[in-house]
Chains A and B, each alone.
Chain A
């Protein structure tokens, strides 16, 4: 019986989704007489059938006249938002790399509202197939100007003819061919038997390139819209040939060797691998050194603030305090806050260590302040709680500031770090100073946290340990 099915391709035996498949609609498309969509559908359906990929195919229907592609194609179907079909197609392809995904779009959908999606999807070069129907006009919404509308052409939104103010007709095939992503781009037409054979072959080639895993294929089809051109079907065929052809020359625009960047893949759910990755490889038990909560600073919840400029290392130091606190079995939090600049702006960190649960993680009135520069000291010094501790970098702060009722330590973080040969460890010097000045946690808690943080850069550990000790010493002396 196969000969009887020639031409039936991968269409449904009955179009159940077309008005319930009743009557003529069960086997007839919704397209106007003379419309080019039916032919493109047919060539696509045949390509899918001939390549034997009907079961693996997902067709993405656009918005526009071909919105109902899913009425007809007996494949997995998805209907996308206006212009977004290439992104939806890629979402399908990445979900199942074995699937054959076809995005079928008109000129309003692809070349106007969906330009970003088609260009970026094409450029990605992942093997999907895009069939682009260019009939120079918006069909479904009723004959408005499309990006592909010809100059001077009258549409409902260019009633005086398309003016140069609206730009020139967009040559999408050439645009696609100019990108590195696609490996095959061709513009075809439907106006005579020869061009139809070419169109059929081009669509099949674009799909087969995907089946072979080679790359992204794009076929632009010049199609007729007799209804909105207000021409008879036969005259609209003539119109495409006479008017569209000079603007949109036919032919292969690109036929490149596959780049071979895309390989199918199967995600891993290996428990060991997943655990190793999400725990960052340190799922072992951290050592504990603290014998009691630092209630000499605050009964249940110690609030700290570290403040400086971006690059001072305030955030890293804050993280180390947090990690040390959690390693010791307390609850701890760290909230960074910085200006929009990556470097050089303000950089503040609020840290809490709590016996039980950190309630409010912000430190508007900290028990301890570590200030890396003068403005930070001036801004936050006054907010420190009575009886609290302030530690500042005396190598950059001018004079010897005092804050009544607060313990103040000036330690030359930067100078000590510079003397050790690496300015960047000034935050570790500060950490040592913080430990010595407050005894918030034992020295070993901090050193263990530092080692944990640097486990992948073990060579830096001795320098950091030295910096920490120097900070401790500077306070004690």
Chain B
């Protein structure tokens, strides 16, 4: 012990900046010594009446501080001599009074993805949903959420089998509504996640998708479309094209919609979807159909897989990302308009940069079939059959339904005498094409015909051929 007498430090007493007191009076009853009384003076900054403090009898018990609901309301007073504590209160930053906070999260640095080369493999023989699940795993996705719904459940089932082997997560949600919100959490944490669903399930996810778009959260949704409306059936339709291209919940929403037509593309486009969803911080949708999900075929493995990093904007739950916020709220009209303009600028960039289409025998085509997903395969068969009858047919296959790949279609239009849209819906693909023509200011296009089947009946090759041959200029 040294010689100095230790001065017993006086316990701090409560201190109140009147502007931060709303006068609720909880502290009045909390103080057993009666130090706090209802105020009588209206605070000019707030229009409220703060309590009055008379601390002569105060024992520094702190109960009043615990009773105060305001973070910067009743507090234990700073050490003696701190400037500004006594005298008239001037509204200013309490940091000046109480010292700077020890908080200050650092500026987050993005951790980049790693690309890991894969060895050469024999092609897999697998079905569409499985191929997509494998693509997701190779894209670095270790978080899968889902709710069983035919005909998409195989995706969830394979993930339930594989993810635990990779210490990844497959979690069966209580509904599609919960599913999309699991994805909002994991995507918001900056990690890749995916779900497999089918039309009615996808409908349920729309609120969450709107939130994700507004909050700029990435995630990949595989919608294995089935027959609607309502419960409809479990057979393949393309009846959600409108929903996916035009109806993603409330607000000015768009997502890139990829449309595979083979098990191979289910893998390739799933991997592409992860790249795009992080590139734009916007969900990406894969429009598949019941046939494609169930179809088994040859699938070649890609040359590399990815280990995801963590983006700088993520709310990962660590020190580096502590300052971040995932949120779609913009209370000020001006701010929300700006936010919308920014999001719309992203849509514009997607329109410009991300159109994808496959052109089959289009070079000299006079009859252009337009089809996507499984119907495009029937259309491809029809092109071959028509060519064998000397009809110059070609297939234009949009691989992005939104943005519609009009830039690839435009140069073909000069030679084309007829367009025949082949689809398993009541013209939803055709509407996308017509709207794309209109937006691209294409006014001079050939007559548009269609082969439309619904309810799970797919357009067959023979009826496509018949339709084309029924056009006047075609039949020899």
Determine which residue in B69, B208, B235 has the highest number of CB atoms from chain A within 10 A of its CB, and name it.
B69
Set of chain A residues within 8 Å of B63, measured between Cβ atoms: 193
Among B98-137, those with CB < 8 Å from A are 98-103, 105, 114, 116-119, 121-125, 134, 137
Tell me if A193 and B67 are in contact (CB < 8 A): yes
Smallest Cβ distance from A289 to chain B, in angstroms?
A: 16
Q: Which single member of B69, B91, B234, B458 contacts A39 (CB below 8 Å)?
A: B69
Set of chain A residues within 8 Å of B235, measured between Cβ atoms: 337
CA distance A162 to B190 in the complex (A): 45
Q: Which single member of B65, B71, B99, B328 contacts A1 (CB below 8 Å)?
A: B99
Tell me if B188 and A6 are in contact (CB < 8 A): no
**Interface 1/0 per residue, B61-85 and A, CB below 8 Å:** 0110111111110111111000000
Tell me if B105 and A55 are in contact (CB < 8 A): yes
Set of chain B residues within 8 Å of A331, measured between Cβ atoms: 297-298
Q: Is B160 at the interface (CB under 8 A from chain A)?
A: no
CA distance A273 to B138 in the complex (A): 11
Q: A56-B318, A95-B191 are in contact. Are A11 and B377 (CB under 8 A)?
A: no
Tell me if B186 and A95 are in contact (CB < 8 A): yes
**Interface 1/0 per residue, A199-241 and B, CB below 8 Å:** 0100000000000000000000000001000000110010000
**Interface 1/0 per residue, A55-70 and B, CB below 8 Å:** 1111011000001001
Tell me if B191 and A7 are in contact (CB < 8 A): no
Which segment of A80-88, A396-404, A426-434 sits at the interface? A80-88
Tell me if A319 and B378 are in contact (CB < 8 A): no
Tell me if A28 and B20 are in contact (CB < 8 A): yes
Tell me if B329 and A67 are in contact (CB < 8 A): yes
Tell me if A45 and B318 are in contact (CB < 8 A): no
Tell me if B315 and A78 are in contact (CB < 8 A): yes
Among A294-328, those with CB < 8 Å from B are 319, 322-323, 326-327
CA distance A303 to B65 in the complex (A): 81
CA distance A327 to B124 in the complex (A): 10
Smallest Cβ distance from A56 to chain B, in angstroms?
A: 5
Q: Is B380 at the interface (CB under 8 A from chain A)?
A: yes
Smallest Cβ distance from B178 to chain A, in angstroms?
A: 4
**B residues contacting the other copy or chain, number (CB 8 A):** 124
Q: How many A-B residue pairs have CB under 8 A?
A: 370
Tell me if B169 and A94 are in contact (CB < 8 A): yes
Tell me if A92 and B315 are in contact (CB < 8 A): yes
Set of chain B residues within 8 Å of A197, measured between Cβ atoms: 66
Q: Which single member of B69, B188, B317, B324 contacts A31 (CB below 8 Å)?
A: B69
Tell me if B78 and A24 are in contact (CB < 8 A): no
Tell me if B70 and A3 are in contact (CB < 8 A): no
Set of chain A residues within 8 Å of B143, measured between Cβ atoms: 91, 94-95
Smallest Cβ distance from A15 to chain B, in angstroms?
A: 8
CA distance A226 to B22 in the complex (A): 13
Q: Which single member of B185, B191, B207, B324 contacts A88 (CB below 8 Å)?
A: B185
Tell me if B316 and A96 are in contact (CB < 8 A): yes
CA distance A100 to B328 in the complex (A): 22
Smallest Cβ distance from A231 to chain B, in angstroms?
A: 12
CA distance A323 to B299 in the complex (A): 11
Smallest Cβ distance from B161 to chain A, in angstroms?
A: 9
Tell me if A79 and B327 are in contact (CB < 8 A): yes
Tell me if A120 and B174 are in contact (CB < 8 A): yes
Q: A13-B103, A80-B181 are in contact. Are A335 and B295 (CB under 8 A)?
A: yes
Q: Is B175 at the interface (CB under 8 A from chain A)?
A: yes
Q: Which single member of B24, B122, B166, B215 contacts A277 (CB below 8 Å)?
A: B166
Set of chain B residues within 8 Å of A149, measured between Cβ atoms: none
Q: Is B396 at the interface (CB under 8 A from chain A)?
A: no
Which segment of B25-33, B336-344, B434-442 sits at the interface? B25-33
Chain B residue nearest to A99 (CB atoms) is: B317
Q: Is B460 at the interface (CB under 8 A from chain A)?
A: yes
Q: Which single member of A4, A26, A81 contacts B207 (CB below 8 Å)?
A: A81
Q: Which single member of A4, A28, A99 contacts B98 (CB below 8 Å)?
A: A4
Jot down 13 A-B pairs with beta carbons below 8 A, ordered by A.
A7-B65, A13-B103, A17-B325, A70-B325, A77-B325, A88-B181, A233-B24, A234-B25, A273-B165, A274-B138, A283-B119, A319-B125, A333-B296
List the 6 closest pairs (A to B, CB-CB), nearest first. A91-B185, A99-B317, A38-B69, A360-B381, A95-B189, A13-B101
Identify the B interface with A (CB < 8 A). 12, 19-20, 22-26, 28-30, 45-46, 48, 62-63, 65-72, 74-79, 91, 93-95, 98-103, 105, 114, 116-119, 121-125, 134, 137-138, 140, 142-143, 145, 150, 162, 165-169, 171, 173-175, 177-179, 181-191, 193, 207-208, 211, 215, 234-235, 291, 294-298, 301, 305, 307, 315-319, 321-322, 324-329, 374, 377-378, 380-384, 458, 460-462
Identify the A interface with B (CB < 8 A). 1, 3-14, 17, 23-24, 26-29, 31-39, 41-42, 45, 54-58, 60-61, 67, 70, 72, 74-81, 84, 87-96, 98-101, 116-117, 119-120, 190, 192-193, 196-197, 200, 226, 233-234, 237, 265-269, 271, 273-275, 277-280, 282-286, 319, 322-323, 326-327, 331-337, 340, 358-362, 364-365
